[in-house]
Structure 1
């Protein structure tokens, strides 16, 4: 790959030549061919240039998963501007922050979006383009030919905002070439993505997991991807799978759990027969759910871990070699180490902070030098913030480093306690956080109940007894708090820090 090659042009031109009339994207009843995608991406680049947008300028894209979102992302890249896909569920204040933080020169969004309202006060904004499902208004009037601009090595090729678990979102810039990094070790070496695959991701294009599985992998392979706007639940996901017959499905544990609860073997509304592989990322997949899904559906789930900063999966299970309860082995192209609080490497069997290193990782956060120093080490190691144990090359997630509890002389992972409690029939969801008991840290379980169960002292005592039967003493919660919902980020990660008491 040439250092200054325009990656969007490479992907679009390759597929336009080898399979112009093949579906690149499916959305509801609509089909977008590779030829049409290439033409409209060029039109989008011409539109942006006509509005005064140039190489290096940030183009904020606040759109539901749709043909328009993909065209906007690739069109901005053709111009060597920097597309910045963001979550459509953000509020006006968050949009205002991201617009200002990224110094966005252009905004592409729906007319009624809070982002359009926030744009009125965005100091650097040159243009705000209202958009429908197929692209910005007036797109068809622009030329379908565009000479791609070579990216500049000092300018970001695209940028995502990581929700993290605390504070304001962080801009994570990547070079254009990083868009193709997931296609090698993960897409080819682990998943074996083929030209005849149909990929469907429940994770959205504004998140690294969704962008990789809906743009990087299918366009690299000349495959087809399914797009589903909105925030789908089990019924919508089952319907999309039944309609489009995907072969690869990318989802998160929370949704897999909901799908499993609604799954009806042999019924048309639960037909998963097209799937050859399911993938899970975003948070650790509970061992129970991994096994139950495979037993019920006959399709295994591969669990793995990646990050926005890596724009890749760096540890993953392999097809036919799934070890439920683990994240699997290193993805080709990555190396890893597990270290203690001093940075010293730890041997197998001892939990510690996971650091990874590989090509395509972000080298600095956008406008966050203090966070860059903490996370991106000078020798190329990336501090993931995850606690892991390694045994014979297999990595098992123990929780986030900032969520771990020190109970007596033991480190306690909230994940392990939560998994044990979710096995109780009354528990729909739960999160474990620190509770200060006379100056000592103890686990406290915050529980969302299944319909039909009543919160109260009797059920609380029952759950505590249930935990004591399944867990070592130091992991057992000392209190149960019943809650209606758990605080979560936009990507569905539980914000345990909001539940800490004392």
Structure 2
């Protein structure tokens, strides 16, 4: 059975209707749909000239510049599997991705080309600048025929390590770039060709790839790319310069924007602000709403399922909730014996949908435990459902068992963030004697310092709101929390921290 080539389908209508419309802005540069179509087809011909055939893997180790969508779409047009690695991977991780994927070719930015080439001597390489390949690509694409995939052919692969571990490959078929456009982009977010999309999440992550590539191109919208680190000044500059109507980001960035602004109200051009990556704290939701007049549309997805499968509906977002099931997906909450739990009870989240990855690359044992025979994927998340809304209680391996009762770090963190001395915080298991107990890792707000008095206040706050077994047994004050490149707290690193004896207990 055949299936449409996603690269063709994503831009087909725009090429027919408005070829000169801007598909991408990056800094002061722009790339129209016609230019994107030509450049990606030339890239596909370049791959064929280099002897790369359908099904072989091509690692795209580029920053979020105009050459990324050119190379990514070009890979799909040639029938090769685009391994979206980005340019921020550590050398060891990039070398692992290249070796594990069995890549035949590496696409590098000129700034990193020499270093990347040294990682895998002998591997074929295409070097790009911000616009496309620096070497001569075929100029004539007349008669070029895009690869016509079967339903089983892979289009792209992402590597993810979650919050810890070696990056693992997740292959996806062409439909995983197209189906979320209808299920999420159109039905939930109402994206149209009039939208300007800005995502701080990079194209090498599932959230950023669907936001900046699939959603933007499928609906004939315009996307804005930010090649460098998404710091607050750069983000605010893009918002002022390009007036995006949809802003995709993560809780850490929303928090940083709030903390960086001294104005009593913030005026932004967006019609939608969306969050993912980790649970959005209710206090952050309410503060953003107070400052901007806009909800943050929180949702949850996974690299294994391409994009969101649970999301808040715009206009009906519930603080602290990841939202409702996106139509087209099936969700179950089960106990450890695989029995469905009743509404209002915590359970392990299982998700099934057309965009589910069939397995992890080269990891058959992990695939068997995650991708179930019944079509459901075990996400590793603990959720609670109430009135159709789903509330994230943490990762299953982050939960802390205290006196035969489970403690959700997120619940304790939400309470701690209610204290004015807490700018940010995370809760993770610490060992006292031979027992696991909640430990609180606090980033103090400006003007506050660690002290026994502050620890007593924080303990009293938690005990006034939660059962005693959920009260942190230790507090440690930190300058920053360890996070992944996508903004998720690395609780595994916190669990390895040994609280200093000089700090208040």
| Normalised TM-score (structure 2) | 0.94
Q: How many correspondences in the alignment? A: 496
Aligned to 1:149: 147
CA distance in 2, matches of 1:318, 1:158: 29
CA contact (8 A) 1:99 1:119 kept: no
Change (3 A) 1:139 1:344: farther
Q: What is the correspondence of 1:10-409 to structure 2 with a 5 Å cutoff?
A: 10-113=9-112, 116-122=114-120, 126-139=123-136, 142-145=139-142, 146-265=144-263, 271-272=267-268, 274-409=269-404
Q: Is the 8 A contact 1:464 1:479 kept in 2?
A: no
CA contact (8 A) 1:96 1:119 kept: no
Distance 1:449 1:116, change over 3 A: farther
**Aligned-pair distance for 1:112?**
3.4
Cα distance in 1 between the residues matched to 2:290 and 2:423: 21
Indicate the SS of the match to 1:90: coil
Deviation string 1:96-140 (CA, Å, 9 cap, x unpaired) is 111101111111112332x753443537x6411121100110356
SS at match of 1:157: strand
Report which stretch shifted further, 354-363 or 143-152.
143-152
- Between the aligned partners of 1:452 and 1:362, the Cα distance in structure 2 is 48
Distance in 1 separating the partners of 2:321 and 2:61: 35
2:54–2:79 contact (8 Å) kept in structure 1: yes
- In structure 2, how many angstroms separate the alpha carbons of the residues matched to 1:29 and 1:144? 28
Alpha-carbon shift at residue 437 of structure 1 (Å):
2.1
Pairing of 1:404-423 with structure 2 (within 5 A):
404-423=399-418
Secondary structure in structure 1 of the residue aligned to 2:431: strand
Q: 1:121 to 1:439 in 2, by over 3 A?
A: closer
2:321–2:389 Cα contact (<8 Å) kept = yes
CA–CA distance in structure 1, aligned partners of residues 217 and 86 of structure 2: 22
C-alpha contact (below 8 Å) 2:251/2:276 kept by paired residues: yes
424, 430, 436: which one pairs with 2:419? 424
Q: After TM superposition, give the deviation of residue 490 of structure 1 in Å.
A: 2.2
SS in 1 for 2:154: coil
1:421 to partner: Cα distance: 1.6
Mean Cα deviation higher: 437-446 or 382-391: 437-446
Tell me which moved more, 75-84 or 161-170.
161-170
Structure 1 residues 63 and 118: alpha-carbon distance in aligned structure 2, compared to 1, 3 A threshold: closer
How far apart are residue 266 of structure 1 and its match? 8.1
What's the CA shift for 1:346?
0.6
Instruction: Give CA-to-partner distance per residue, 1:359-398, whole Å, 9 cap, x none.
Output: 1110101011111011100110010111001112111111
Aligned with 2:485: secondary structure?
Answer: coil
SS at 2:330 equivalent = strand
CA distance in 2, matches of 1:32, 1:219: 12
Tell me the equivalent position of 1:471.
Answer: 466
Distance 1:317 1:405 in 2: 27
d(CA) in 2 for partners of 1:340, 1:265: 47
Q: Which segments of 5 or more consecutive residues in structure 2 lack a partner in the other structure?
A: 499-505
Unaligned runs of 5+ in 1: none
Which of 140-149 and 256-265 deviates more?
140-149
State the shift of 1:440 in Å. 2.4
Q: Which moved more, 1:190-199 or 1:130-139?
A: 130-139
Report the counterpart of residue 460 of structure 1 in structure 2.
455
Q: CA RMSD in A?
A: 1.9
CA contact 2:154–2:173 (8 Å) conserved in 1:
yes
How far apart, CA to CA, are the structure 1 residues paired with 2:119 and 2:279? 39
Q: What CA distance in whole angstroms lies between the structure 2 residues aligned with 1:88 and 1:426?
A: 37
In the TM superposition, what whole-angstrom CA distance separates every residue of 1:233-257 from its partner, at most 9, and x where no partner exists? Answer: 1121111111111111100001011
Q: In the aligned structure 1, how far is the partner of 2:363 from the partner of 2:483?
A: 23
